[in-house]
Amino acid sequence: MTYQNILSTIDNGINTITINRPDKLNALNKATFEELGPAIQAAFDDETIYGLIITGAGEKAFVAGADISEFTGLSVEEGRRLSRTGHGVFNLIENGPKPIIAAVNGFALGGGCELAMACHLRVASENAMFGQPEVNLGLIPGYGGTQRLVQLIGKGKATELLMTAEMVKAEEALKLGLVNYVVPASGLLTKCIALLEKIHTKSPTAITEIIQCINAYYEDGVNGLETEINRFGNCVNTEDFKEGTAAFLEKRKASFPGK
Ligand code: COA
């Protein structure tokens, strides 16, 4: 499939999706969302892909937010629909069966910070900047930012960042637990690939169950411990489990079939 606002490349089982509007600092407009969701779903459906990287085109920005030029004249209903669209795509990412890493290569503001937070892991380049500046616009985050920022860095600091619109540099984001690693820009994708390759040596079915169990912790009305019990049960019925335990007992490296 060809896209106008994103680039999608597959290399050695890793699908790199690049938000590609560098002249607008990769701001997420409606058309970009319409391509991003299907591109992510296509990666989930493609058995040759085991992991994803999401990044932004150019050296300046990961994503500088939702496209503010599309905000003018919105009705309440349209505003809610816009927010719901973002939630739909970001929930798809968060609940995805395959590991997804945000390679944050510059500004990750508003919807950009929210996109990064929806990914399972975040690696930032040294020049990355994070923030939720929506209150500058008379807005609040609309793509999960009020929830995922609290989940990642805790209520106190999240409240401060959401209320002050203050940006934090990559090193500060690392201290806050907002990102997993900070690396020089030249090594950003290499670090993401290395993380995915390490995860790929593990059981893919177990990785999918891990994602679901972690997300259950944050899901209203869902008992995460019960989810773990159920999904632990699922694991013992997989070929990955048979291979993993057999390999251990036979003192060899496991080769997981992913089923
Ligand atoms: N939506 C739409 N366009 C955006 C954008 C956004 N969120 N962020 C940047 N752009 C556009 C600018 O309008 C500009 O377009 P132009 O060249 O056609 O005028 C271009 O991207 C470059 O941005 P510019 O502001 O000139 O770059 P800068 O280096 O001076 O500042 C930022 C960089 C990130 C600090 C600044 O662009 C900014 O504050 N962006 C908005 C961040 C935001 O509020 N995000 C949350 C949205 S809800």
Q: What is the pLDDT of residues 214-259, one digit of tens each?
A: 999 999 999 999 999 999 999 999 999 999 999 999 999 999 999 9
Amino acid at 54: I
Number of the ligand 1 atom closest to the C-alpha atom of 25: 21
Q: How confident is the model at residue 1 (pLDDT cuts 50, 70, 90)?
A: confident
Amino acid at 16: T
List, edge to edge, every strand of the sheet that includes 51-56.
6-11, 14-19, 51-56, 100-104, 121-125, 181-183
Partners of 131 in beta bridges: 109
Looking at residue 244, its pLDDT comes to: 98
Number of the ligand 1 atom closest to the C-alpha atom of 107: 34
Report the C-alpha gap between 229 and 170 in whole angstroms: 37
Number of the ligand 1 atom closest to the C-alpha atom of 133: 44
Closest CA to 90 of 145, 169, 45: 145
Among residues 114, 171, 209, 239, the one annotated as catalytic is: 114
Report the C-alpha gap between 74 and 156 in whole angstroms: 32
Tokens of 135: 């209150």
Tokens of 205: 């079915």
54 in helix, strand or coil?
strand
**70 catalytic residue (yes or no):** no
Tell me the best of 19, 23, 25 to mutate to test the pocket of ligand 1, counting ligand atoms within 8 Å of each CB and taking the most.
Answer: 25
* Minimal-distance CA residue to ligand 1 atom 7: 65
For ligand 1, residues with CB inside 6 Å are 24-25, 27, 64-69, 107, 109-110, 133-134, 137, 139
CA distance to 71, 127, 141, 239, per residue, from 205 (Å): 41, 35, 33, 9
Number of the ligand 1 atom closest to the C-alpha atom of 134: 48
Closest CA to 99 of 240, 232, 193: 193
For residue 35, the CA-to-ligand 1 centroid distance in Å is 21
Report the C-alpha gap between 3 and 42 in whole angstroms: 13
**Any idea what DSSP says for residue 131?**
E
Percent of the chain scoring above 70 in pLDDT? 100
**Any idea what DSSP says for residue 259?**
-
**197 catalytic residue (yes or no):** no
Report the C-alpha gap between 255 and 30 in whole angstroms: 42
- Average pLDDT (139-152) is 98
For residue 64, the CA-to-ligand 1 centroid distance in Å is 6
Fold of 6-200: 2-enoyl-CoA Hydratase; Chain A, domain 1 (3.90.226)
Query: pLDDT of 175-214, one tens digit each?
Result: 999 999 999 999 999 999 999 999 999 999 999 999 999 9
* Minimal-distance CA residue to ligand 1 atom 32: 64
Query: pLDDT of 64-123, one tens digit each?
Result: 999 999 999 999 999 999 999 999 999 999 999 999 999 999 999 999 999 999 999 999
